[in-house]
A and B are shown apart, each in its own frame.
Chain A
């Protein structure tokens, strides 16, 4: 854990807990019909966004996907505005027009989640170009799943980013499934992270349940990018603890597999134990953090519930102009 301050580690733990609790609340609200549409919780994968977002600066860009709440929260998004968006309220990040899959925050340089699998990958090329042209040493972190890595856009984008030496960090969150399709069956060379050879760029295959491993890999890739040496590809091996969405019982997975990952590879529980072992934190402090997070989430739900609906008239007026 060289180079990460105790303070940062505690910040990371806070974010891990915040993402976990946010997603648990969202699922609960989904099941009671308060929120609807598509919801893709990232429970089990929290360490990837947390490690990555702590390894980059506030001027760097983040590109997300359909399972993007973790990316947004790790980046520091306002969970009140996120929750309001899930409620479809006018105070939400997209004024209630986008829902769970379209959260965007330009102040935090989050260029957006995406409902199209792989939709953000080509956009990273343009963001990378603009960082390169600006010459301020900023980088782009582009998150996507193992499923997205099998779309043609992955190849076009990584090749282009590589030939132009763009400062982009491609982070594949391999949670072993794309809906029901196992990545073991869909990725011909088994590890997405090995595809770096095809583009002549660095590749890192890491344990995505460990925020420190993620942090270190992203730091390294960011340094490489800031030095003008181009993109890197990181494959973070991870697991989604639940179904693709709250209505998916995920019957396509073996019980033993689910049990193994949820008990052995829980990024939140493991990081807690680790910080306790390292005596960086106490049980009491963790409890305090948890109750603070719960309070924050409760506040976000109240904010969302009390927020006004978007005005129909205003929407119709805008449509006239489209």
Chain B
């Protein structure tokens, strides 16, 4: 199968959906001639024109609001927030408006809105451009939250997000854009709430999403050479969450590590740990272990930055520690 970059997979998904449905359009900062801050929109302005590829001022609240209003009145906007850190400026529109409208209208109104954004550490961009804030959105009932790790997943899930009738936080990772992965030529979509076993294994389950999937796979490959077999489970969407797939894996291995780039306090990882423990406590051979980012703003200096989030070596260490623990 051909291999394409994550950013190309995004572009393909948008093109296919914009061609399929004239109600789909793109709006955000520097999405036009600039082609997006991470160059996922190359050529789209030329292809669709400024009515469907709309460049905006730096007005995050109004950008999200524009998406909500257009969605309520029949369109399917893809709205971009350049960095997830900037979603902080638009939280009312996301959390109090987009997330609530369907419920508060007794189900009569829909907000088919995709908020494309990216987060994470990795380029020395420091504290206001490196955060992993998925827990904010995970916490708000009424939003779906997608965190694709690979080219294949990002394409299939973005197409599903565009067709979905709810507001979707579509959170990419800045380090994944240049990464290549297999993507078929034929059209496909990926349903929400369906985890993917990225690697089969027997001894231990590693639950990870977004860029941490890639790091977990690398760790699993290295551990394999030492005779340790890890199963890497990628939920792909954290809302809705395919908890059953995680549970099945844990029932088999009896051990669970949750890897999270986001800092630990109040994290998605903590919640997954609680959910799994509630459901399959009797199957666990050791306590669930969380390998998470440190509870710190992200520093600029690369050594400190590196130390702030889980690395392959941390995952390997955690796996070994957990295998030694017996309840």
Interface residues of A (CB under 8 A from B): 36-38, 85, 88-89, 94, 96-99, 101-102, 114-119, 147-148, 150-153, 178-181, 185-187, 251-252, 309-310, 312, 315-316, 318-319, 322
Contact = CB atoms under 8 A, between A and B. Distances in A.
Interface residues of B, number: 35
Contact of B303 (A118, A181, A310): A310
A37 B85 CA distance: 16
Contacts of A319: 294-296
B109 to A, nearest CB: 25
Contacts of A252: 33-34
B29 A94 contact: no
A117 B37 CA distance: 15
Interface-central residue, B126, B128, B296, B300, by most chain A CB under 10 Å:
B300
A94 B58 contact: no
B304 A179 contact: no
B65 to A, nearest CB: 10
A102 B127 contact: yes
Main secondary structure of the interface of A (DSSP, over half): loop
Contacts of A38: 124-126, 129
B86 A99 contact: no
A206 to B, nearest CB: 23
B30 interface: yes
Given A97-B297, A116-B86, A180-B34, 20 more contacts: A36-B123, A37-B125, A38-B126, A96-B301, A96-B304, A97-B127, A97-B300, A98-B126, A98-B127, A102-B127, A115-B85, A116-B85, A119-B128, A147-B57, A150-B57, A180-B32, A252-B33, A310-B301, A315-B296, A319-B294
7 closest pairs, A vs B, by CB?
A37-B124, A99-B300, A115-B128, A150-B57, A180-B34, A88-B301, A96-B301
Given A99-B126, A102-B127, A312-B304, A180 B58 contact: no
B59 A96 contact: no
Contacts of B304: 96-97, 310, 312, 315
Contact of B58 (A101, A102, A151, A322): A151
Nearest to A35: B124
Contacts of B91: none
A114 to B, nearest CB: 8
Contacts of A117: 58
Nearest to B31: A180
Contacts of B127: 97-98, 102, 115
B261 interface: no
A117 B299 CA distance: 19
Interface of B: 29-30, 32-34, 37, 55-62, 85-86, 89, 123-129, 294-297, 299-304, 307
A153 B62 CA distance: 12
A85 B127 CA distance: 14
A148 B30 CA distance: 14
Contacts of B30: 179-181
Contact of B301 (A181, A309, A322): A309
Nearest to A183: B57
A180 B300 CA distance: 26
A37 B61 contact: no
B55 A185 contact: yes
A150 B58 contact: yes
14 contacts: A36-B124, A88-B124, A97-B304, A101-B126, A115-B85, A116-B85, A151-B58, A179-B29, A181-B30, A185-B55, A186-B56, A310-B303, A316-B294, A319-B294
Given A98-B300, A319-B294, A319-B296, A178 B57 contact: yes
Contact of A37 (B89, B294, B300): B300
Contacts of A309: 301, 303
A180 B62 CA distance: 19
